[in-house]
Amino acid sequence: MERTVITFGTFDVFHVGHLRMIERAAALGDRLVVGVSADELNLRKKGREPIFTEAERVEIVAALKCVAEVFVEESLELKREYVLRYAADVLVMGDDWEGKFDELGDVCEVVYLPRTPAVSTTALIEKISTGS
């Protein structure tokens, strides 16, 4: 039986931390589905628009060879619906979300993977804008 893995993220200013998370998620199954968070969701939750648009972020993630399917994540609260819609066997999240999705353990396996240290979109934006 094919094992489907699902993961989520904004993936803004795509960097090696994003890539490694996606590759490690893909390695946990046969087919990886990625939910890329909507511009509107970012605005609501983080108070700012991503640097790259939703369409650009979807295009970048969809081009990765270990990604089978990409969709736009409209709300953080719809995880259960997405897991069921894509028939995911495993939900992978970064460990900054540790414990937050344990209640989905009745419909899929929930795995939190450690983040890559010392790289972040926020730090990159800061570095680019200050030139340091």
Which residues sit at the interface with ligand C2G, rule CB under 6 A? 8-11, 17-18, 21, 37, 73, 76, 93-94, 96, 115-116, 119-120
60: Cβ–Cβ under 8 A, 6 or more apart, which residues? 11, 14, 52
- Nearer Cβ to ligand C2G, position 1 or 33? 33
Q: Which of 104, 95, 98, 118 is nearest to 21 (CA)?
A: 95
**Nearest distance from residue 1's CB to ligand C2G, in Å?**
25
Q: Round to whole Å and give the CA distance between 78 and 111.
A: 18
**Nearest distance from residue 9's CB to ligand C2G, in Å?**
3
**Nearest distance from residue 11's CB to ligand C2G, in Å?**
5
The percent helix, strand, coil of the chain (3-state, each to 5) is 40, 20, 35
- Nearer Cβ to ligand C2G, position 2 or 77? 77
Nearest position to ligand C2G, beta carbon? 94
